[in-house]
Structure 1
Amino acid sequence: MTTEPAVLVVDDNRVVADTYAAFLTDEYAVEAVYDGEAALDAVGPGVDVVLLDRRMPGLSGEEVLARIEERVLDCRVVMVTAVDPAVDVVDLPFDEYVVKPIGRPELLAVVEEMHRRATYDDALRGFLALASKKATLEARVDEAELADSEPYQRVEERLAEQRESLGIETERLEGVVSGETRDIVDTSDAGALTE
């Protein structure tokens, strides 16, 4: 990883992409692109964080996300979108899901969190991505819908399994997990997991 993390902003709305890039340019090396094809051309081993719009003409954010996963790139991906999440997001391989509009402080915080997560091992990153999905769904989807949702139940089961296999207890992940995710995961074994 470089001393100045590289962030790729992908949004078909040029004003939005350029605004997000401007928000981040003092802290990060930032490139903005305006469609999925350009995103695939720009993303590579040197990119640490991708801020990816979900709905774009041509290649959608979901298609770009799938291609990033196929390439086995070691970058964190944040879906930054106007699309409210539904339980269909459970199987998408992103690290965080943020619903627009998003201001500069929130954008900086999520990129900083993704940069921090890059220092964790794969198991902990996977756990945190899953916990982020659960937190996003709980914040944005009706409780009754979640109660009847098989994908949401799978998330809960996978979190419990991963928590057990990682030896994570409730009070020790404090500081590792940010924002809404902190309320979802058992926050007790960060020290052991990040050493």
Structure 2
Amino acid sequence: MTLGVESMPTPAQQHPPARPVLIAHPDSDTVSQYDGWLPDYCTAQSALCGREAIEKHTAETSVAILDEGLAECCAEEVAAKICGTEASTKILSTRTDPSQSAAGKRSVFDDTLASPIAEADFRSTVESLHRRATYDKLLGEYYTLARERATLESKTLTPGSQEAVRYTEVISELAELEAALERALADFDDADYRAVFEVVLA
């Protein structure tokens, strides 16, 4: 699979696979507003406090939007819990003071929006994080299958055996994931590429 910078395709006008977005904010009206701003291909999970946000988060959640005013568990605690899972979820912080966004938060937040938040900024940020989360999820699945392929290739496979059949399935699944990764990269813009490579080089 070739995923180098030089071979990256130009952005395509297509949407990434639908996955839920978690909106955690103490104000229900703001939750409803953010829900209305989500891209059509995203479904919303809502939470009014940090503890509820942790309970609502799943491995399928692509983006978690965490407000600084969350009670019970603060946004940083919720983010740390999410980062402690194997989920590919990207985390967006919403806050009132933009100067606080760079104060030790880079390790837990993938992006930050400060009030007042415009719909266009909110939507484009969520779309970018959703694309990156989709790519990370696919890449994780690819590496898991690649390890399984390596394990099977280290053995002597008898034609028709269960392991031989599984090897054929793995090869097919890897090809499908390679195609899906190429499609995911085709949706990337320059900011997405920078964010991905910043993580790789960190």
Query: Is it true that 1:79 corresponds to 2:131 in the alignment?
Result: no
Measure the CA separation in 2 of the matches of 1:23 and 1:175: 21
Aligned to 2:98, the other structure's residue is in SS state: coil
Measure the CA separation in 2 of the matches of 1:119 and 1:27: 13
Give, in angstroms, the shift of residue 28 of structure 1.
1.1
**1:132 equivalent in structure 2:** none
Could you report, residue by residue, the CA deviation over 1:55-112 in whole angstroms, capped at 9, with x for unpaired residues? 3221110110111112232101111122323342345411101112212221110111
Percent of counterpart pairs with the same letter?
21
Measure the CA separation in 1 of the matches of 2:105 and 2:90: 16
Query: Is it true that 1:10 corresponds to 2:24 in the alignment?
Result: yes
2:103 paired residue among 88, 91, 94: 88
**1:97 equivalent in structure 2:** 112
**1:28 equivalent in structure 2:** 42
Could you report, residue by residue, the CA deviation over 1:139-192 in whole angstroms, capped at 9, with x for unpaired residues? xxxxxxxxxxxxxxxxxxxxxxxxxxxxxxxxxxx93316xxx9xx69xx9xxx
1:111 paired residue among 112, 126, 129: 126
Aligned to 1:118, the other structure's residue is in SS state: helix
The change in CA–CA distance for 1:22 and 1:79 in structure 2 (over 3 A counts) is same
Aligned to 2:190, the other structure's residue is in SS state: coil
- Between the two structures, name the one with larger relative contact order (CA 8 Å, sep ≥ 6): 2
Give, in angstroms, the shift of residue 40 of structure 1.
0.5
User: Are the aligned partners of 1:62 and 1:92 in contact in 2 as well (CA < 8 Å)?
Assistant: no
Structure 2 unaligned regions, length at least 5: 1-15, 138-187
User: Are the aligned partners of 1:45 and 1:74 in contact in 2 as well (CA < 8 Å)?
Assistant: yes
Alignment of 1:149-160 (within 5 A): none
**1:46 equivalent in structure 2:** 60
Aligned to 1:26, the other structure's residue is in SS state: coil
Normalised TM-score (structure 2): 0.56
Alignment of 1:100-139 (within 5 A): 100-120=115-135
Could you report, residue by residue, the CA deviation over 1:20-64 in whole angstroms, capped at 9, with x for unpaired residues? 012216331112211101100100111111111123221110110
User: Are the aligned partners of 1:7 and 1:47 in contact in 2 as well (CA < 8 Å)?
Assistant: yes
Normalised TM-score (structure 1): 0.58
Structure number, greater radius of gyration: 2
Measure the CA separation in 1 of the matches of 2:106 and 2:126: 22
- Structure 2: which amino acid aligns with 1:100? S
The change in CA–CA distance for 1:176 and 1:71 in structure 2 (over 3 A counts) is same
Query: Is it true that 1:175 corresponds to 2:186 in the alignment?
Result: no
**2:51 equivalent in structure 1:** 37
The change in CA–CA distance for 1:81 and 1:90 in structure 2 (over 3 A counts) is closer
User: Are the aligned partners of 2:63 and 2:89 in contact in 1 as well (CA < 8 Å)?
Assistant: yes
Give, in angstroms, the shift of residue 115 of structure 1.
1.6
Q: State the aligned residue count.
A: 131
